[in-house]
Structure 1
Amino acid sequence: MIRKVVLLVAVLGLGAPAVAQTPPAAATMPSDPLRTRAQALLGILGGGGDTAAEFDPTFLAQIPDAKIRTIAKQLSEAFGAPLAIESLTAATPQKASLTVRYARGSVAMTMTVEPSAAHRITGLLVTGTTSREASLDQIVATIGTLPGVAGFALARLGDGTPSVMQATKPDTDFAIGSAFKLAILSEAIRATNAGERRWDDLVTLDGAPLPGGFYTQQPAGTKVTLRELAQKMISVSDNSATDILLAALGRAKVEAMLPVIGWRHAARNRPLLGTLDVFKLKGIPGGALGKRWLALDEAGRRALLAKDIAATPLGAIDPRMFQRGVPVMLDIEWFASPADLVRTMDWIRRNTETGPGAEARAILGVNPGVGPAQAARWGYVGYKGGSEPGVIVMTLLLQSKAGAWYALAASWNDPAAAVDDARFVALVSRAVDLAASGR
């Protein structure tokens, strides 16, 4: 689903690759040009400065002043005024990692300057945000004050059921956006462990309509492995890969996994919708198809899914459905509680220790969902999130460097207004930091 938080990365970066868990480059003392540009950047983030003087023209041709000012405003709205350069660590004379201290949090970035005498900024990428809460108790208290409704659960994982350490509204069902893709991954794990499927099994595209994603324009007859589909579904939340994989594994089998992985209200998600199904239900002007869906029982919904939803053309979907930035029919979604998602991560952990299913653990760890500084504090970070206007969820599987396992799930829904994705990501990132230090 659409994620506004990506804007924080994409607008200030010439590209936004998934954050890999790789060791940082050796640090050196920052050069004078890096120090100068970092201080100038602080002024621009505060609403002043001269972008034409500080940024290379090639950068500004792709990301003009207006976009830089927009992202600076978003960061200030989320974290208050930028106060200081908290840290500046050079990887090379032209590239550095820096942290900007804001009134209510910190924003980590990487910055590159040109090697010529002007030393203007040629690259700037937001790599992470954190809030300033000093303890997990404070994180939970802050989450409890967010507008709409929000929930959180942090649990230690072991041989028995997850042991909850911190929580607020852990058993409340939330719309979870793309986090539902964890259920599809779970069925892939079960099927490969059982020998019913192999990660190398090929799926042949049949030319059926697909939601946006890598495979949308691929011709019929294209062959793709289950492994590749799962990787794209989890690491970049590719919707086309998701719907192909759901069809390949079987909707009924994924539905059957919901109670197995710990979703207490699995019936609320039957029949399980694909991403294109949701776009059709929400995106027909006036929500006519979605209103029909909401009035039906499970049998009626299955009939609607097989006939009218399947027959609705892509062209009937409002292309600006999520671009307006307002919540759209949050009662048509996938639903799970933070406790459900903690149990899901625990099931995945236990079923990826050995055997073919172990490959899914690597897939889940490609994009850790938090910044490099937070991820580096753990031995392993697996992640799946999801969002659209009014919805954000972050779900993490964490292993400490000493070998202990944890799961963290946080959700925020507001049917009345778009949620502040940047603020939420900062809170969860801070929770990941604090959990690593036992606070």
Structure 2
Amino acid sequence: MAKYGAEAIAAAMFATLLPNLAMAQTPAASVPAAETALDRRAAQLVDLFAGKIPYSEYFDPHFQTAVPEIQFKAFSDGLIAQYGEPVAIDRATSTDSRSGTVLLRFQKGMATVLLDVGIATDGRVSGLRVTGVTVAEDSFDKVTAEIAALPGQTGFLVAELDGTAVHPLAAVNADRQFATGSTFKLYILDELGAQVAAGKRKWSDVVPLSHFSFSSAATANWPAKTPVTLQTLANWMISVSDNGAADTLIYLIGREAIEARMKSAGHSDPSRNIPLLTTVEAFALKGNNFNDLRPLFIKGEEAAQRKLLKDNQDRLTLANVDGVSFTAGPRFIDSLEWFASPTDIARLMVDLRARKSKTLLAAMAINNGVGPVAAADWSYLGYKGGSEN
């Protein structure tokens, strides 16, 4: 009887638990997640770019001061002209309900938008930045046609690098020399990487910030002789194109050494960059206050040019750069510049990769030139742009 009783009790307990188990397995009615501040403002992006939401109702006062409505409208109109009308929000992701990434779909592309919503009760947006746009149904033929339609001289190269070989996939004027702007800094990085590989230097070496230049996002107003590592200088020079970092490295590793590296990396016409100008020398010579030296430098032979730079090194400094000279657009880009062809840059990429330096490649990946959506399919993206305003 005792045994039977125990079995009966056990059976009763099991029977009692079954309904509860069944209830636990029944799916509960889903409760929609609460809409966040980011969700609300992200959902309005289509109407914002279409001009259907008042600017002052969407952005907080700080944003309106930093980016006047007329400036934002010009930016918005430019996006629409290139990518068509905004049509939908594909996705909005956030970790804190107020800041996140929004994928805004246009008729001909997908924009990645970084959005920040302020903490004020009205929940207006305090930050908006489009970090990149991927074009729908794009092709090399379309890109070629669009580049060809641009004013001025154009050229490009898309290539696969196989060891030391450069295999073109698409190209226009790939062997023509163009003014490269700050892209020349990759030659500085290449020589620095070579000196590190040879044991002459270490990325962790600490050196003084010795030279300053115009348009330097990282080193502007820093105290002279501030100790920094070579890796820091390289990161600044490439990721934010800091000119002071570039000039400090040029003087440290040697102008002539960089010129030699340019030759060994396969530049097709290195004489156009010899002597290699520092950024502050280029800015100074382009300015109106050096009208006396500019023609002498442009017309001079290499020896005369080097002598001019040496004799005037105390004049060709940041203090004497005439920034007003550059307000009307690029100056002397056919004669006072750094030059390379698209193929030259491809050969330089071969040389940079041959360094097998994680530090070097990491410097090029800090700012990869595209938004996170475009970068998602790549295991590595390295970038260095160049321009003149």
Q: Which TM-score band (shorter chain)?
A: 0.7 to 0.9
Greater CA radius of gyration, 1 or 2? 2
Give the CA deviation at 1:103: 5.3
Name the CA shift for 1:90/1:159 in 2 (closer, same or farther; >3 Å).
Answer: closer
TM-fit CA distance, 1:102: 4.1
1:323 pairs, out of 317, 320, 327, with 327
Q: How far 1:86 moved relative to its partner?
A: 4.7
Please say if 1:359 is aligned against 2:359: yes
- Aligned partners of 1:235 and 1:363 also within 8 Å: yes
Secondary structure at the residue paired with 1:281? helix
What pairs with 1:27-426 in structure 2 (closer than 5 Å)? 31=35, 34=38, 36-38=40-42, 40-77=44-81, 79=82, 81-92=84-95, 93-102=97-106, 105-114=109-118, 118-132=122-136, 134-206=138-210, 210-213=213-216, 214-285=218-289, 287-308=291-312, 310-324=314-328, 326-331=329-334, 332-352=336-356, 357-389=357-389
State the Cα distance separating 1:212 from its structure 2 match: 4.0
1:378 offset after TM fit, Å? 0.5
Displacement of 1:309: 5.4
SS in 1 for 2:170: strand
CA distance in 1, matches of 2:312, 2:146: 43
1:435 corresponds in structure 2 to none
Contact 2:191–2:258 (Cα < 8 Å) also in 1:
yes
Residue pair 1:30, 1:96 contacting (<8 A) in 2 also: no
Q: Distance in 1 between matches of 2:318 and 2:104?
A: 43
Question: What's the offset of the Cα at 1:182?
Answer: 0.3
Which letter maps to 2:86?
L
Deviates more, 1:102-111 or 1:139-148: 102-111
Q: 1:163 to 1:219 in 2, by over 3 A?
A: same
Between 1 and 2, higher relative CO (CA 8 Å, sep ≥ 6) is seen in 1
d(CA) in 2 for partners of 1:46 and 1:286?
48
SS of alignment partner, residue 324 of structure 2: coil
Aligned to 1:425: none
Flag the 1:380–1:283 CA change in 2: closer, same or farther, 3 A.
same
**1:152-206 deviation digits (Å, cap 9, x = unpaired):** 1111122341111111111011100000000000001110111111112222345
Question: For the structure 1 residues 135 and 254, does the alpha-carbon distance in structure 2 shift closer, same or farther, using more than 3 Å as the test?
Answer: same
- Over 3 Å counting, the alpha-carbon distance change for 1:136 and 1:219 in structure 2 is same
Counterpart contact for 1:173–1:335, Cα < 8 Å: yes
**CA–CA separation in structure 2 for the residues paired with 1:40 and 1:287:** 53
Q: Which has the higher helix share?
A: 2
Query: 8 Å contact 2:283–2:321 — kept in the other structure?
Result: yes
TM-score, normalised by the number of residues in structure 2: 0.82
Q: Using structure 1 for the length normalisation, give the TM-score.
A: 0.73
Q: Which 10-residue stretch deviates more, 185-194 or 300-309?
A: 300-309
Q: CA deviation at 1:373?
A: 0.9
Q: CA deviation at 1:115?
A: 6.1
Match of 1:395 in 2: none
1:105 & 1:349 partners in 2: Cα distance?
32
